[in-house]
Structure 1
Amino acid sequence: MAVVSDVRAVAMSMIAPTQVDWRQETGRLHIRYEHTDGRHIHTERVQARAVLDLDDRGQVLDVDIKGLPRPVVQRLAPFAGSRVTENSGPGVSLDADAAWLWLHLRRGPRAEQLRGDAQVDLTFLEGALAEIALTLLPTQGHAAEMSS
């Protein structure tokens, strides 16, 4: 049974988003993995620290969401032990001990990084991660800290 569970976790972790919508002017990112078509959905709204890596065209490469509450980490447990790497295709990985979720959206060199507190809505469809909506919260008049 453990092998079947490991294979299922790896397959889940290598999911590619069906839609990524990034609006740098508002600091809002929407990632859709599954369409929520009326089946059982559950949304968790949390505030967490976020880091977004952007390429030279302003497209999001990676998203780190840190400091997730324990109930959210438990819902995301299938992504723990993921085999996603910077060189793999898109995927999701969870470090449960650090309460840190990594969303790898595409490969490419990072040209810019945005960091800040964020409101994060994680939507689960029948227990599986379906959507993430992340909004960087304003800090002293800036959408987020930037570094190159």
Structure 2
Amino acid sequence: MVADGLDVLFCGINPGLMTAATGHHFARPGNRFWPVLHRSGFTPRLMDPSEQRELLSYGLGITNVVARATARADELSAAEYREGGRLLAEKVTRLAPRWLAVVGVTAYRAAFDDRKATVGPQERTFGDTRVWVLPNPSGLNAHWTTETMAEEYGRLRTRAGA
């Protein structure tokens, strides 16, 4: 679900089993991506994962670091993350979104060998594309509430002018 010249390209870690089964990103019940996207102001209403193509009309897209579906992201190897990061860098350079928003600091660190990365804007760029690391909206990420995630996603929305 990508296009050239997006305002923000969101990048999940990898497809979960529900996403693989439905073909819709962040499809697992309990994943907070869609509510957070709405609460942060990226979308005017709460969208269902089946409506993901509508994001393109808002200048938004979704991709993943790793294409292989797993039940949990911790099933991915370090080599898969590194290769995914390499392929993602190529994709972002080709598509040239204004912002790449990697959803999950652990995935960002593994994909781009940046052990010190934290949530927020990064120094790294891909051509003219700037990078922002967002909290992972998985229900397993108990450190962040829906509200605190929406605040962080909102910071990116404001910066991106989306």
Query: TM-score, with normalisation over the residues of structure 1?
Result: 0.28
Structure number having the greater strand percentage: 1
Query: TM-score, with normalisation over the residues of structure 2?
Result: 0.26
Structure number having the greater helix percentage: 2
Structure number with greater Rg is 1
